[in-house]
Amino acid sequence: MWLWFAKLGSPKWFYELSSKWLPWLVGAMAILLSVGVIWGLLFLPPDYQQGYSSRILIVHVAVAGTSLAFFPLMAVAGTITLVWRMKLADMVAKNAAPLGAWFSFITLATGSIWGSVSWGTWWEWTDSRLVSMLFQFFLLLGVISLRSALEDSDKAAKACALLSIVGCINVVIIKYSVEWWNTLHQPSSPVSLSPDSPNGPEFWIATGIMILAVYLFLAVSLILATRNEILVRERQAQWVQDLVRQE
């Protein structure tokens, strides 16, 4: 296990291994994303209360759930950077921040579109779920800005790692905000494939497919961004120069 962990810290080993993963991940992502989007947005039956506006929840639930994974991911990568000083972990943390900001923004946008129909308002400052998600968006922008502001790469990596660990507290607040406070945002609905469930099995199957698709999109995007970061940081390494000559 420790040998595998040590190998994972090697940018060269990760670059070569990810070349084998990417075609399979991209293929699975394309299939699931196509099925989820087409089924969820075009063929999903209207909800008995919300009508066709419930279709956007297929995207919103998948993106919102995935957006909560970024700070824990960055915190783990940051901890590895602080303890073992693995360059690859810092590369992952660096590229996860802008991706997380985009996911948080899409979560807020799709939630506002749905809320404008279901709640009659695009935004509500007294809603703890909305405000805590907005705070996550600004925290991620803060991580990006902090890294850009510090010229010393080691100091930037340490500072961003600490901020990412602190950011995990807000993830817990987002998760349990609808249980701790009275909000417009409803609590999480129990998953049920029973025909008698309020949402119906079609909703949950489409949502499950979309969640898998979005997580695969996250993985593909992060791998591609990290591979590019490896080439930039390791451009003086012989293996990178040989790779450039081959291409």
Give residue 4's pLDDT.
Answer: 60
DSSP string, 159-176: HHHHHHHHHHHHHHHHHH
Instruction: Look at 41 and 157; give whichever has higher pLDDT.
Output: 157
**Secondary structure of residue 15 in the 3-state scheme:** helix
Average pLDDT (33-58) is 82
Count Cα atoms within 13 angstroms, Cβ side, for 8: 13
Residue 41 in this model has a pLDDT that exceeds 90: no
Task: Give the integer Cα–Cα distance in Å for 156 and 15.
Answer: 24
Work out whether the CA dihedral 230, 20, 29, 66 comes out positive or negative: negative
CATH number, domain with residue 157 = 1.20.120
* Residue 54 pLDDT grade (very low, low, confident, very high; cuts 50, 70, 90): confident
> What would the pLDDT profile of 152-200 be if each residue is shown by its tens digit?
999 999 999 999 999 999 999 999 988 888 777 777 665 555 555 656 6
Identify whether 11 is part of a domain: no
> What would the pLDDT profile of 84-135 be if each residue is shown by its tens digit?
889 899 999 999 999 999 999 999 999 999 888 888 888 988 889 999 999 9
Q: Which residues pair with 51 in a beta bridge?
A: 47
Which range marks the domain in which residue 136 is found?
Answer: 23-186+197-246
Give residue 43's pLDDT.
Answer: 84
Q: What is the DSSP letter of 55?
A: G
Identify whether 1 is part of a domain: no
Work out whether the CA dihedral 153, 139, 219, 42 comes out positive or negative: negative
Give residue 55's pLDDT.
Answer: 81
Give residue 185's pLDDT.
Answer: 73
Residue 51 in this model has a pLDDT that exceeds 70: no
Q: Per the structure, how many domains does the chain have?
A: 1
Identify whether 230 is part of a domain: yes
Identify whether 201 is part of a domain: yes
Identify whether 16 is part of a domain: no
> What would the pLDDT profile of 208-246 be if each residue is shown by its tens digit?
999 999 999 999 999 999 999 999 999 888 888 888 777
Question: Of 179, 103, 173, 91, nearest to 141 (Cα)?
Answer: 103
DSSP string, 80-148: HHHHH--HHHHHHHHHHHHHHHHHHHHHHHHHHHHHHHHTS-S--TT-HHHHHHHHHHHHHHHHHHHHH
Residues 6+ positions from 220 with CB-CB distance below 8 Å: 22, 25, 26, 29
Identify whether 7 is part of a domain: no
Task: Give the integer Cα–Cα distance in Å for 180 and 92.
Answer: 33
Identify whether 8 is part of a domain: no
Average pLDDT (33-49) is 84
Give residue 88's pLDDT.
Answer: 93
The pTM of this model reads 0.91
Count Cα atoms within 13 angstroms, Cβ side, for 2: 1
* Residue 3 pLDDT grade (very low, low, confident, very high; cuts 50, 70, 90): low
| Amino acid symbol at 24 | W
Residue 141, burial from CB neighbour count under 10 angstroms (0-12, 13-18, 19+): middle
Identify whether 164 is part of a domain: yes
Measured distance between the N- and C-terminal CA atoms of the chain, rounded to whole angstroms:
34
Cβ(136)–Cβ(174) below 8 Å = yes
